[in-house]
A and B are shown apart, each in its own frame.
Chain A
Amino acid sequence: MLNIRKGGMQTAVQDLGRTGFQRYGIIASGVMDPFAHRVANLLAGNAETSPTLEIALSGPVIEFEADHFIAICGGDLSPLLDGQPLPMWRGHFVQRGSVLSFGEPKRGARSYLAVAGSFDVPPVMDSHSTYLRAGIGGFEGRALKNGDVLKTLPLPAGRLEALKNQNAQAPDWLIPPVPYHEQPIVRMMPGRQFTLFNEESRSRIFEKTFTVSASSDRMGYRLEGAELALEKQEELISEAVAFGSVQVPADGNPIVLLADRQTTGGYPKIGQVAAVDLPLISQLKPGESLKFRHISVNDAQQLYIEQEQQIRQLKIAIHLKREE
């Protein structure tokens, strides 16, 4: 059980998203950085699909009401356990009464806290994700606030002891490093309406540096840096969008659609961020910037498959280690 002493800026239960309901217009939601979420779950001994806590920028203060085994991955928001720096990207046994807090955000914007056994929240439309705008899913459909009590599911007998004994050992598996960066190069496929943009816009999108504007959130990041325009202004027929679709409204500033994106959109899409590079965008703070680099659909598919293989290997390595 976790006592939330302070909710933080925006701490909410998320999983890999609400799948299968987008045809009714239900937003997928889910984590902004699926890679960090999945690794945190694996390190805590959970299924990749289990809910984690997504912690944004200014983190919460959490008191553990019982012994737990946890892992924190993602952006470095300076996690502290009882005031001492807590290494990320590995599992930790935490004793009852310990307090987890966060210092200054160092790199990235979002951390993921996984707790062995995972959180006991009711699924809504087959998902534990919090869809904040609709007030559904996760913990009472909202971000955590001071005084909340977040329950965890019980672990099988002996499981916590086994995880605890392993705690002292250095992990001997390799986590593929995520190049979180203040000014990342983000690979992008040409979007469905790429050829409708004028020539200048088609080159600017891959040349200019774009800055994340202040009015950016889990739904999408508004970018500033170059105004983009269609060859000839026209109203388009709305169609599906995806995590990482880069659409351009009439004001010319591109918007990268993220976890809480709408299911369909009527603005032209100049690009589509490669899935493996989505965490690079999701971990940017307003004011930070990025550049796009062209990638083909085939290459993006290949990178996706390679990353899935890496995660599978990590999963096997952790499993073997724990069977020893």
Chain B
Amino acid sequence: MVFTFSPLSEQALVIETGTNINKESEQAVRKLAAILEKEAPDWLIEFIPAFTTVTVFYDPCRLKQAEVERELHLLIAQLDDVEAPAPRKIEIPVCYGGEFGPDLSFVAEHNGLTEEEVVKIHTSGIYSVHMIGFAPGFPFIGGMSEKIAAPRRKSPRLRIPERTVGIAGMQTGVYPIETPGGWQLIGRTPLRLFIPEQNIPSLLRAGDEIRFTQIDEAEYHEQEAKRDAEHS
């Protein structure tokens, strides 16, 4: 496996494990993340794994870019001995359309489908979490059918309510907190994906296997009330 290095800034280096999202590049990202977590080298400030990259942040007063690259080569040499953690299975209930999913009609129209068909396709897939990023606990989820793909909005929305489910290109995901963003919004889940009071503050992790299930508005409010009661 060939890794390429390129700077994100004068304090951050991107390790690329491939140029396409596939099993190999993702496994390599997961293994790299596992080894960085385990070894926790003292020059490493923190790291951000993504689809096909792991970005490491370092202090240039301690190590220059070339020295960081050398350290990384030593870690990469151990990669074959590392095992990526096994996937977990998680179900995410979603109330689709209406005020929770204002772009469901756009996604349907863009693909020549009805809204019901979009929901049926979205809930029939088995998805895997490729990465957590962008916002607290935000999962980038792969495995969505091409039939419901839709482009990002030209200009991002300034406000998207928390727990909204969206589509961007071939990807689908859930916004854990209110945030600006360019995704097409199709529904909302009562589940909290960002749990700041926990040690690992994210419900989902890279590698998780998830399914979406459809719930109606009444079930949505019931689950939301139950969740709030558990947390109060």
From A27, A136, A237, A249, contact of B135 by CB (8 A): A27
- Closest residue on chain A to residue B132 by CB atoms: A25
Count how many pairs of residues, one from A and one from B, have CB atoms less than 8 Å apart in the complex. Answer: 147
Chain B residues with CB below 8 A from A238, complex form? 50-51, 131, 133-134, 140
Q: A23-B46, A133-B177, A249-B155 are in contact. Are A239 and B9 (CB under 8 A)?
A: no
Q: A133-B177, A134-B194 are in contact. Are A24 and B50 (CB under 8 A)?
A: no
From A133, A215, A262, A304, contact of B60 by CB (8 A): A304
Residues A24 and B64 in contact, CB atoms below 8 Å apart: no
Interface size on B, residues (CB 8 A): 54
Q: Does B83 contact A (CB under 8 A)?
A: no
Residues A301 and B60 in contact, CB atoms below 8 Å apart: yes
Stretch binding the partner chain, chosen from A57-65, A86-94, A263-271: A263-271
Residues A26 and B11 in contact, CB atoms below 8 Å apart: no
Q: Does B116 contact A (CB under 8 A)?
A: no
From A25, A125, A245, contact of B9 by CB (8 A): A245
Report how far A172 CA is from B186 CA in the complex, Å: 62
- Classify chain A: how many residues form its interface, as a range: 35 or more
Residues B134 and A265 in contact, CB atoms below 8 Å apart: yes
Report how far A43 CA is from B81 CA in the complex, Å: 50
Report how far A244 CA is from B135 CA in the complex, Å: 17
Q: A26-B136, A26-B201, A251-B154 are in contact. Are A264 and B50 (CB under 8 A)?
A: yes
Chain B residues with CB below 8 A from A189, complex form? 7, 9-10
Residues A237 and B60 in contact, CB atoms below 8 Å apart: no
- Closest residue on chain B to residue A264 by CB atoms: B133
Chain B residues with CB below 8 A from A23, complex form? 33, 46-49, 132-133
Report how far A27 CA is from B136 CA in the complex, Å: 7
Q: Does A316 contact B (CB under 8 A)?
A: no
Chain B residues with CB below 8 A from A241, complex form? 8
Q: Mark A235-267, 1 if CB is under 8 A from B, else 0.
A: 101111111110001110000000000111110
Report how far A240 CA is from B26 CA in the complex, Å: 15
Q: Does B168 contact A (CB under 8 A)?
A: yes
Chain A residues with CB below 8 A from B178, complex form? 133
Report how far A244 CA is from B8 CA in the complex, Å: 10
From A134, A219, A239, A301, contact of B196 by CB (8 A): A134
Chain B residues with CB below 8 A from A249, complex form? 154-156, 182
Q: Mark A14-25, 1 if CB is under 8 A from B, else 0.
A: 000001111111
Report how far A241 CA is from B8 CA in the complex, Å: 7
Q: Does A124 contact B (CB under 8 A)?
A: yes
Q: Does B180 contact A (CB under 8 A)?
A: yes
Q: Does A208 contact B (CB under 8 A)?
A: no
Q: Does B74 contact A (CB under 8 A)?
A: no
Closest CB in chain A relative to B136 CB, distance in Å: 5
Closest CB in chain B relative to A316 CB, distance in Å: 15
Q: Mark A128-151, 1 if CB is under 8 A from B, else 0.
A: 000001101000000000000000
Chain A residues with CB below 8 A from B156, complex form? 249
Q: Does B21 contact A (CB under 8 A)?
A: yes
Residues 266-324 (chain A) with a chain B CB within 8 angstroms: 266, 272, 274-275, 297-298, 300-301, 304-305, 308
- Closest residue on chain B to residue A235 by CB atoms: B169
Q: Mark B14-26, 1 if CB is under 8 A from A, else 0.
A: 1000000100000
Q: Does B27 contact A (CB under 8 A)?
A: no
- Closest residue on chain B to residue A23 by CB atoms: B48
Residues B64 and A301 in contact, CB atoms below 8 Å apart: yes
Chain B residues with CB below 8 A from A300, complex form? 9-10
Residues B155 and A263 in contact, CB atoms below 8 Å apart: no
Q: Does A96 contact B (CB under 8 A)?
A: no
The 9 lowest CB-CB distance pairs between A and B, nearest first, are A264-B133, A240-B55, A240-B48, A300-B10, A301-B10, A24-B202, A235-B169, A239-B50, A262-B134
Q: A235-B170, A250-B154, A297-B10 are in contact. List 16 more A-B contacts (CB 8 A).
A: A23-B49, A26-B136, A192-B14, A239-B52, A242-B9, A249-B155, A250-B155, A262-B179, A264-B48, A266-B168, A300-B10, A301-B60, A301-B64, A304-B60, A305-B60, A308-B61
Hey, which bits of chain A sit against chain B, CB under 8 A?
19-27, 124-125, 133-134, 136, 189, 192, 215, 219, 235, 237-245, 249-251, 262-266, 272, 274-275, 297-298, 300-301, 304-305, 308
